Amino acid sequence: MLQLKNLTVAYDDTPVFTDVAVNFDAGKITGIIGPNGAGKSTMIKAMLGLIKPLSGTATYNGQPLRDQQKRIAYVEQRKDLDLTFPINVFDVVLTGTYGQLGLFRSPGKAERTAAYEALAQVELTGFAPRQIGSLSGGQLQRVFVARAIVQQADIIILDEPFVGIDLQSETAIMTILKAWRDAGKTIIVVHHDLNKVSRYFDDLVVMNHGIIDFGPVAQTYSAANIEQAFSADLSAVLFDAKEGQA
Amino acid sequence: MSTLTEFFTALGRYDFLQSALITAIMVGIMSGVIGSFIILRGMSLMGDAISHAVLPGVAVAYMLGINVLIGASVFGILAALLIGFVAAHSKIKTDTSIGVVFSAFYALGFILISMAESATNLHHILFGNILAVSDSDIMTTAVVLGIVILFVVGFYKELLITSFDETYARTYGLHAQLLHYGLMLVLTLVTVSALQTVGIILVVAMLITPAATAFLWTDKLSTMLVMAAGVGVISAIVGLYFSYTFNWASGPAIVIVAAALFAISFAISPKQGFLPKRK
């Protein structure tokens, strides 16, 4: 289990959230939802050690997460990437082996094989020699999921993986996430498309400058929680419509 | 063609010209390789800044009679740290911080050089004086070339991933900041070596132009490094030929050749050339 306790993060003295406590279970796909600026990405970055929290701890199976950095794979938002970089699809996936290799060891045959297999899993084998700038948003997202496969991590964190991608890519990525879940890994997905919440996730964390609720989707994806995190209007639209259909 | 024959005859005859050529080739290789990382990391301005910021180090080294590499390295790293410090501890953006710090270092350098007037020639520091390369200069350049190659081969993976996707590198525990300062140190060493060949003002051209030329031709980092080194070497040799034949200053001659190679590549390279593509 991945556990956050008393987590407080601030940018320039303005707290994003204070004393956050939340658990992520293994063998579950956990979605994190909340409005823009709710602190979803911030919480993840604090977990990853990319930003320094004011206080709080992150542990995995009782041990500090900080000491188990190599067990985490992170699929970040693609918008900050330099798509003109001289690197092809295969080599991007291969960078997934860098953490395990450590310093002064180059990827060998085993690593290259792993990279090819991961590319096959996301159905991009034919794209291996292509420069990354020539890919669509969905294809590119699948490349980074392939890199996460190669990392053989126990915890996989994805930040808005379905934004601006095609349906085929979304389906391919969901298939991988389910395979990871069935293998007992901890999967965390920052998400903002509320429509697919109950279809995609087992557990849910509802956020708005702090945790509003977390637990199984059936309990947490409720009119009350959505109203508290987003707005009464949105809650009414989502949940009335649902009951109308049913 | 007779000037070409003349150049090669002179090359066989004069030691100073051989020394110049060997140094220029080594500088061409190292600046192409390090320059590739500089442009891929979007640090062209930083490259320019560091190359200017070593000036006070050069002056201090002359004053104290220590190796120029040591003096320059100290000030190069100091400038890099100060630029990072100002940007991190204020709302000032990095490019502004670079502008403030490097101009201050450069100004300090001029003042120190004028104080140490007797020992140095400002003109040579600014524009290079490749025809006065000594044996110990060649040795120093060779050592720096060795360091550059060891650094890039040893940390190739790490340089690649921090240049392409630093966030990811940090999530698996790579100390990206340390590597950044390592690169700045190596950049400083390259700058000092290139100082004699092309002078402080044009060092940035040797870092950026061959690397940018290579970038136009390839989609693979390792190929880009080799090509950038190649463009650097060709520029050095052809530039030296022009310098010797037409009595041009060596620095501008080498840089103008590199710029011409870039212009040709810009027009005809398959990646982003102007000419119609045939595929």
Task: Out of A80, A86, A98, name the one closest to residue B221 (CB).
Answer: A86
Q: Kindly determine whether residue B157 and residue A101, on different chains, have CB atoms separated by under 8 Å.
A: yes
Is the pLDDT assigned to residue A246 strictly greater than 70?
A: no
Mean pLDDT in residue range A137-159: 94
Is the pLDDT assigned to residue B119 strictly greater than 60?
A: no
Pick the closest to residue A165 from A185, A182, A141, A149 (CA basis): A141
Cα dist from A178 to A164, A173, B114, B214, whole Å: 21, 9, 70, 43
Quick one: pLDDT band at residue A244, thresholds 50, 70, 90?
Answer: very low
Mean pLDDT in residue range A151-174: 92
CA distance B211 to chain A (A): 12
Neighbouring C-beta atoms of residue A93, cutoff 10 Å: 28
Q: What is the pLDDT of residue B272?
A: 63
- Reported residue count of chain B is 279
Sheet holding A186-190, edge to edge: A72-75, A155-159, A186-190, A28-33, A203-207, A211-216
Is the pLDDT assigned to residue A40 strictly greater than 80?
A: yes
Query: Where are chain B's structural domains?
Result: 2-268
Percent of chain B with pLDDT over 90: 51
Is the pLDDT assigned to residue B268 strictly greater than 80?
A: yes
- Which of A127-131, A236-240, B173-177 is predicted least confidently? A236-240
Whole-angstrom Cα distance, residue B80 to residue B101? 9
- Domain tally for chain A? 1
Task: Out of B156, B167, B220, name the one closest to residue A88 (CB).
Answer: B220
Is the pLDDT assigned to residue A245 strictly greater than 50?
A: no
Q: Superfamily assignment of B2-268 in CATH? A: ABC transporter involved in vitamin B12 uptake, BtuC (1.10.3470.10)
Q: What is the pLDDT of residue B120?
A: 58
Q: Kindly determine whether residue A151 and residue B169, on different chains, have CB atoms separated by under 8 Å.
A: no
Is the pLDDT assigned to residue A94 strictly greater than 80?
A: yes
Q: Kindly determine whether residue B171 and residue A50, on different chains, have CB atoms separated by under 8 Å.
A: yes
Is the pLDDT assigned to residue A124 strictly greater than 90?
A: yes
Quick one: pLDDT band at residue B30, thresholds 50, 70, 90?
Answer: very high
Which residues, including other chains, have CB under 8 Å from residue A38's CB and lie 6 or more apart?
A: A207, A208, A209, A229
Whole-angstrom Cα distance, residue A149 to residue A154? 10
Q: What is the mean pLDDT of chain A?
A: 89
The first and second tokens of residue A91, run together, are 């080599």
Q: What is the pLDDT of residue B150?
A: 97
Residue among A11, A91, A106 with most chain B CBs within 10 A, to mutate: A91
CB of B279 less than 8 A from some CB of A:
no
pLDDT tens digits along A176-233: 999 999 999 999 999 988 888 888 999 999 999 889 999 999 999 988 898 888 888 8
Task: Out of A70, A82, A104, name the one closest to residue B164 (CB).
Answer: A82
Question: B270 contacts in A (CB within 8 Å)?
Answer: none
Is the pLDDT assigned to residue B138 strictly greater than 80?
A: yes
Q: What is the mean pLDDT of chain B?
A: 89
Mean pLDDT in residue range A11-36: 89
The range of the structural domain enclosing residue A84 comes to 2-245
Question: A85 contacts in B (CB within 8 Å)?
Answer: 40, 163-164, 221
Is the pLDDT assigned to residue B145 strictly greater than 70?
A: yes
Per DSSP, chain B holds a count of helices (H) and strands (E) of 14, 0
Task: Out of B155, B164, B172, name the one closest to residue A85 (CB).
Answer: B164
Q: Kindly determine whether residue A72 and residue B215, on different chains, have CB atoms separated by under 8 Å.
A: no
Is the pLDDT assigned to residue B183 strictly greater than 60?
A: yes
Q: Kindly determine whether residue B172 and residue A80, on different chains, have CB atoms separated by under 8 Å.
A: no
CA distance A134 to chain B (A): 11
CA distance B204 to chain A (A): 21
CA dihedral A81→A85→A90→A91, nearest 10 degrees, is -100
Quick one: pLDDT band at residue A93, thresholds 50, 70, 90?
Answer: very high
Q: Kindly determine whether residue A104 and residue B154, on different chains, have CB atoms separated by under 8 Å.
A: yes
The ipTM (two decimal places) reads 0.89
CA distance B40 to chain A (A): 7
Mean pLDDT in residue range B122-147: 86
Chain A residue at shortest CA distance from B173: A69
Is the pLDDT assigned to residue B95 strictly greater than 50?
A: yes
Percent of chain A with pLDDT over 90: 55
Chain A residue at shortest CA distance from B223: A86
CB of B217 less than 8 A from some CB of A:
no
CA distance A166 to chain B (A): 24
| CATH label of the domain that carries residue A16 | 3.40.50.300
pLDDT tens digits along B57-66: 988 988 888 8
Q: What is the pLDDT of residue A80?
A: 75
Quick one: pLDDT band at residue B118, thresholds 50, 70, 90?
Answer: low
Quick one: pLDDT band at residue B99, thresholds 50, 70, 90?
Answer: very high
Task: Out of A73, A76, A87, name the one closest to residue B164 (CB).
Answer: A87
Place of tokens 């294809």: A139
Is the pLDDT assigned to residue B29 strictly greater than 80?
A: yes
CA distance B249 to chain A (A): 35
CA distance A218 to chain B (A): 32
Q: Kindly determine whether residue A87 and residue B223, on different chains, have CB atoms separated by under 8 Å.
A: no
Quick one: pLDDT band at residue B213, thresholds 50, 70, 90?
Answer: very high
CB of B219 less than 8 A from some CB of A:
yes
pLDDT tens digits along B146-173: 999 999 999 999 999 999 999 999 988 8
